[in-house]
Structure 1
């Protein structure tokens, strides 16, 4: 075996190991969040809040769902800073532990009937801890996998983290559904706790897989540099405001739009379409798995046609699909409902998620990368992801129709499309496979407003 072949195989092994570890971490994170979304809809509205009004209980449950997202930017800022200063790998270990332990403890909380108002307060505390840990977990996952991958395969390997997100969500829903089937009426008293306790086992598996992951060369170069900013996020906010705004806007389709078919739709299918809770969970799980299956394909496609171009296609389809999707759901036909939601996920959300996995890390230089990705994702997530199910519930209550929710989805997709369009000032698909460009602060295009540099031509 010649030296070049050995180096190639070693690089591929390293990329696969990092991507697998990142994907498993994302799986644990979104198992926790998917589980919480299902429980908030079906269990927590009654168990923790002690109200006889279903609307009030559902709003209160979705409010605690939102609390986790409000905590995520703070986790992103703290752990993103640490990830840029002390390393990607150690920070990902801490955030994973914080999430897994918090989720497990939710499974042993007493209800409102036992401890009164203390029950929702304890739930909020653990939800905050979940959010703090999750605020930097996915950002760390895509940064680690992107930096560990060969330049020409960066999109493919980075997309594994996105696949882990939806496999984790689907696993959470499937476990929830399976325990519901096994425990029957007891599910609503003690059975719902079992899926939360299972998080501890998933946490142990994830730690085992991550034990051999190496720190990235990009971070090691930053560590040896004397010019790295002491506070990466402060440097970004001071010199790269437009770059951050583009990154924030591009995430709106994933932090807002996707939470209609991913979370809120469960309440619509059960309360308005008339599907049984178990069937609604199964539909949601099928949709999430379909997205996970296609994620690596679209990641690889982004390596070939360009991530920015792929991202634009996904946002454009996201503008076109919401009204047809709801019209198909209202046929009350389960196969048609599944098809409508799968098309939404695969045609828009999955395309955007796969493109973003490498697109966002390429927006920022190594010394600022973890902070930049975490801040962009989690700030938009705090504003939209946790609140979107809440807003959708309120909109449906007022209008007694789904059309305002479809309009909301169109607006979210439009914001993302415009933001990705303007990313042409900061990155170029034509140079996305250049390792030197990926590692350089000055290689991607900057404007004078972003720190006084002269604008360069964009391919």
Structure 2
């Protein structure tokens, strides 16, 4: 069957649509995190003890993370069965509407216990939609790109993640400044309602994206799996193990500088909250700007090689990073965290986008990517900051946290190293390798390339 090679115009359109969806996804999640810390504990969770209300608000925040694997399984399955495009449109609408409805919820004072219940329900819907959004974004981008530029275009979604996170926190701070004393009554609702505008723009962009050739070929050749994830668990456990292990770097490791460091700076080093937020924003922006560069570098030197470099850099930098942070110098803190975020996290994030899509055959790709990312993310994404806080409290030092980061990176190092049994940088441009009974065993040519 003859097919038309993806064009750069098609790739740009798909990657832009994917990046905007990732931006909306993480705008929504960042927005909820900020609201949980500042507003939800008093507006939705009635308690005479402020700490109890805050814990309840953050528990609802965690619910979104635990819902993500279920969304990944369900929508990943549908993405492999009915197509990438329709599923991505549905998950985007689900996230956008759920976020906007949070901005319209009555408070506890208005409807009592129904308020926190409705908030948790909407948070679950957010998590279900987000559970397949990023997996679909990188799958659509990678499959829509010319093979020689797959890493570059797939990396756009990762940049969208960090821009969305920065916008979520920034919009909340802006509304706090603009509405002043009215923020606790109605000002906090505005950023949630803005999600409708972002949803409309995203849908406008996504409607022009066509279904990928990889899925169309699978449909035409009748190779679509009836139960993609079941098939992976039965015949491709090694691929799933590699994918799960690779994500330890981007959940257990990366959530320390990306999330927990903000708490460490303010609570342990007495850095002003505004300064700490500025440091975090700088880190996110630098990471987003570097993503396309590393994606393109992966096209040139190989994703696996780039991934391994980023992991090794993280292992080496974990302890020096904390040594620089503990000096208390704002300049050195920014330098330490930015080097970690760009040299280790952004490098691995950019490499992983195309790496994961090349790891799984097209008929099971959406399910495999979504399952691997969301299961490990649910287990470690929400618990890494909690574990780091407990370790510092117990040891009265940062060294257990640095050790945690090294352990997470070492797990990913082993997983990515073992990926040579399923894919190599030599064959990363070859989509036909899945058509020659290679779902389990690499070819002789691939084995030879790996050993060189």
2:242 maps to what in 1?
246
1:361 maps to what in 2?
357
Distance in 2, matches of 1:125 and 1:358, equals: 33
2:284 maps to what in 1?
288
1:446 maps to what in 2?
441
1:329 maps to what in 2?
325
Question: How many pairs were matched up?
Answer: 447
Query: 1:372 and 2:362 equivalent?
Result: no
Name the SS of the counterpart of 1:361 in structure 2. helix
- Let me know the Cα RMSD of the aligned residues: 2.5
Name the SS of the counterpart of 2:401 in structure 1. helix
Once the two structures are superposed, residues 155-175 of structure 1 have per-residue CA deviations (whole angstroms, 9 ceiling, x without a partner) of: 001101111111111111221
Structure 1 377/16 Cα, relative in aligned 2: closer, same or farther at 3 Å? Answer: same
TM-score, scaled to structure 1: 0.91
Query: 1:234 and 2:230 equivalent?
Result: yes
Distance in 1, matches of 2:343 and 2:175, equals: 31
1:343 maps to what in 2?
339
Checking the alignment, whether the CA contact within 8 Å between 2:223 and 2:363 is kept in structure 1 is no
Tell me how far 1:341 sits from its aligned partner.
1.6
Question: Which sits farther off after the overlay, 11-20 or 263-272?
Answer: 263-272
1:44-443 correspondence runs (5 A): 44-51=40-47, 56-437=52-433, 440=435, 442-443=437-438
Structure 1 208/287 Cα, relative in aligned 2: closer, same or farther at 3 Å? Answer: same
Checking the alignment, whether the CA contact within 8 Å between 1:177 and 1:282 is kept in structure 2 is no
Distance in 2, matches of 1:302 and 1:90, equals: 29
Tell me how far 1:426 sits from its aligned partner.
0.7
2:25 maps to what in 1?
29
Tell me how far 1:42 sits from its aligned partner.
3.8
Query: 1:38 and 2:24 equivalent?
Result: no
Distance in 1, matches of 2:185 and 2:398, equals: 32
Structure 1 339/113 Cα, relative in aligned 2: closer, same or farther at 3 Å? Answer: farther
Distance in 2, matches of 1:94 and 1:18, equals: 16
Distance in 1, matches of 2:96 and 2:81, equals: 24
Distance in 2, matches of 1:326 and 1:308, equals: 28
1:18 maps to what in 2?
14
Distance in 2, matches of 1:347 and 1:239, equals: 35
Once the two structures are superposed, residues 21-60 of structure 1 have per-residue CA deviations (whole angstroms, 9 ceiling, x without a partner) of: 1111111111111222333334444544345666555544
Distance in 2, matches of 1:220 and 1:68, equals: 32
TM-score, scaled to structure 2: 0.92
Question: Which sits farther off after the overlay, 54-63 or 369-378?
Answer: 54-63
Name the SS of the counterpart of 2:426 in structure 1. helix
Name the SS of the counterpart of 2:297 in structure 1. helix
Give 5+ residue unaligned stretches, structure 2.
none
Structure 1 112/266 Cα, relative in aligned 2: closer, same or farther at 3 Å? Answer: farther
Checking the alignment, whether the CA contact within 8 Å between 1:365 and 1:441 is kept in structure 2 is no
Structure 1 373/196 Cα, relative in aligned 2: closer, same or farther at 3 Å? Answer: same
